[in-house]
Structure 1
């Protein structure tokens, strides 16, 4: 869920991560299994608005750029210790992708790239799924 209570899966675009987390129960109890895998969805901010550069700041060639940092983001969101996190894809509507491309084109300098295709490849690789 997003901070405003909306479901990220209902957003026009969302980042999808595979997360492995573990339970760390209080002393005197154990769990089995103690490790779980799940899919974490994070709504993509509208292009041009605060937070829209999440992909630039956290992805590289379709993978997590800094796993330690993104693992901490996942821990904060889930409230459990996260052992690993990997980027799966950006799920997006055609309209969101068009807006994203337009916002990228308007500010290529922040991406150190010559064109929009280079930016998308550099950060998201082939991990974009248009629904």
Structure 2
């Protein structure tokens, strides 16, 4: 199984003793998707809603930690781009959701995927 969450991230550099131009840049951050039911598989539920980051300030801190950014570097924005997955991971994800629909407060796997990921699932 192979899957990853992809995010568009804008970073700003604020060096103390230098000037930089440009002081911002855009990049793509990929986070491996944990296979259900392993701890961490619910990243989509905990961080996303309708294909967007659910709590932008908290998520920017999450990105900062994941990227190991130090002082003088700010995460200006972080937007969900897609869940890039293979069929095996998507099947396992759908099965894990179906096994515990009550956790998601809905009545179908498709509704869960749409509620959290929107239409941003890319199967390769």
* Structure 1 gap ranges (5+): 1-10
Q: Structure 1 residue 63 and structure 2 residue 56: aligned?
A: no
**What does residue 6 of structure 1 align with?**
none
Q: Structure 1 residue 102 and structure 2 residue 95: aligned?
A: yes
CA RMSD of superposed structures (Å):
1.0
**What does residue 12 of structure 1 align with?**
2
* Structure 2 gap ranges (5+): none
Q: Structure 1 residue 130 and structure 2 residue 123: aligned?
A: yes
Work out which of the residue numbers 9, 13, 16 in structure 2 matches 1:23.
13
**What does residue 107 of structure 2 align with?**
114
* Distance apart, 1:64 and its partner CA: 0.6
Quick one: distance in 2 between partners of 1:14 and 1:24? 30
Quick one: distance in 1 between partners of 2:55 and 2:19? 31
- TM-score normalised per structure 2: 0.93
Q: State the structure with bigger RCO (CA 8 A, min sep 6), 1 or 2.
A: 2
Tell me how many residue pairs correspond in the alignment: 120
* Distance apart, 1:69 and its partner CA: 1.1
